[in-house]
Amino acid sequence: MIGTILKILLLGAFVVLIALTVGLFIMSGVAQSHDVVRIPVPPSTFIAGTEAGSNGSDAFVAPLRNSSFRDIDRVAQLAFHKGQREVYRDEQEVAFEGETAGVHYYISYILTRDTSPPTLVAATTVQTKNRKGKYYWKVVKFAHGRLMPYMLDRMTVMAPD
């Protein structure tokens, strides 16, 4: 009896894991269909300065076709993730810092209005602080790489400006 219950629970967990994985790939596909692509972390930005000593970094760029952000203040106001505190702001970039489960991270939004079309970049750097953070990041890294482009896409599409 206990063996049967355990098998049912494991099968249920496996089905949920498969459904979550399929959902992440669908979200990633939606972002790609809206021209959100992975790029290197832009040089000469605050976030590039946090890359040294990090365990991982990535950046995604989205064109601003149907919506436009007036300025970086509006981007900061509508940012999909703001960490625990703002650590940097200039005319083109706003950066936030946070920490969770042994992982210290920065997330930066970079607004480039002098290109056609204007673009918005979301870049992150991650540094693990202990063994717990190292294992946490190994698990979360897969979802992060698929969820970030989707969230950036939603941010640009839903912008009310």
Strand, coil or helix: what is 130? coil
- How far apart are alpha carbons 95 and 16 in whole angstroms? 34
DSSP class of residue 124? E
DSSP notation for 10-31: HHHHHHHHHHHHHHHHHHHHHH
Cα dist. 28→19, 71, 117, 145, 155 in Å? 14, 27, 22, 8, 14
DSSP class of residue 95? E
Cα dist. 130→3, 13, 31 in Å? 36, 28, 33
Q: Which CATH architecture has domain 2-158?
A: 2-Layer Sandwich (3.30)
What are the 10-residue block averages of pLDDT along the chain, 161 residues in total?
A: 82 82 71 80 93 90 79 89 93 94 93 87 94 89 86 81 57
State both tokens at 43. 């040089």
Q: Check residue 123 and give its pLDDT.
A: 96
Q: Check residue 34 and give its pLDDT.
A: 66
Quote the pTM value: 0.83
- How far apart are alpha carbons 79 and 17 in whole angstroms? 28
State both tokens at 90. 């200039």
| Cβ proximity of 60 and 39 under 8 Å | yes
Q: Check residue 24 and give its pLDDT.
A: 67
Any idea where the domains of the chain sit in the sequence?
2-158
| Cβ proximity of 100 and 91 under 8 Å | no
Q: Check residue 45 and give its pLDDT.
A: 94
Q: Check residue 48 and give its pLDDT.
A: 93
